[in-house]
Homo-oligomer: A and B are copies of this chain.
Amino acid sequence: MKANAKLISHAPLGALEILTAALAADMHGVNEIILQNLQSEVALIPQVASYLIAAGGKRLRPLLTVASARLCGAADDTCHGLAAAVEFIHSASLLHDDVVDESHLRRGQPSANDTFGNQASILVGDFLFARGFELMVAAGSLEVLKILARTSALITEGEVLQLSLAGNIATREADYLRVIEAKTASLFSAATEVGAILGNENYRDAMRNFGYHFGMAFQLIDDVLDYSADAAALNKNLGDDFREGKLTCPVILAIDAGNAAERDFWRDALLTETHTPDMFTRAQSLMHKHRVFDAVRQRAENHAAQARHAIQQLPPQPLRDQLLDVLDYCVNRTV
Contacts and interface: CB of A to CB of B under 8 A. Distances in A.
Interface stretch (A27-35, A120-128, A251-259, A302-310): A120-128
A134 interface: yes
Work out how many copies of this chain go into the complex.
Answer: 2
Nearest to A143: B137
A170 interface: no
B152 A130 contact: yes
A272 interface: no
Majority-rule SS of A interface residues: helix
A232 interface: no
Contacts of A174: none
B137 A149 contact: yes
Interface string A123-158: 111110111011011101010011001101101110
A44 interface: yes
Contact of A149 (B100, B134, B142, B160): B134
Contact of A142 (B45, B137, B153): B137
A152 B123 contact: no
- The interface size bin for chain A is 35 or more
A323 to B, nearest CB: 28
Contacts of A23: none
Given A44-B163, A145-B145, A164-B42, A156 B127 contact: yes
Contacts of A153: 127, 130-131, 133-134
Residue of A44, A160, A164 with most partner-chain B CB within 10 A: A160
A238 to B, nearest CB: 22
Nearest to A45: B160
Given A119-B100, A163-B119, A149 B130 contact: yes
A43 interface: yes
A161 interface: yes
A160 B124 contact: yes
A134 B120 contact: no
Interface in A43-77: 43-45
A106 interface: no
Contact of A44 (B45, B152, B160): B160
A87 interface: no
A107 interface: no
A159 interface: yes
Contact of A100 (B93, B122, B156): B122
Given A96-B123, A133-B133, 9 more contacts: A44-B161, A99-B118, A124-B160, A126-B155, A130-B149, A130-B153, A130-B156, A131-B153, A142-B142
- Top 10 A-B pairs ranked by shortest CB distance? A130-B152, A130-B153, A127-B156, A126-B156, A134-B149, A133-B149, A100-B119, A42-B161, A137-B145, A123-B160
15 contacts: A41-B157, A42-B164, A43-B164, A45-B160, A92-B126, A100-B119, A100-B123, A119-B163, A126-B155, A127-B156, A130-B153, A134-B150, A137-B142, A137-B145, A137-B146
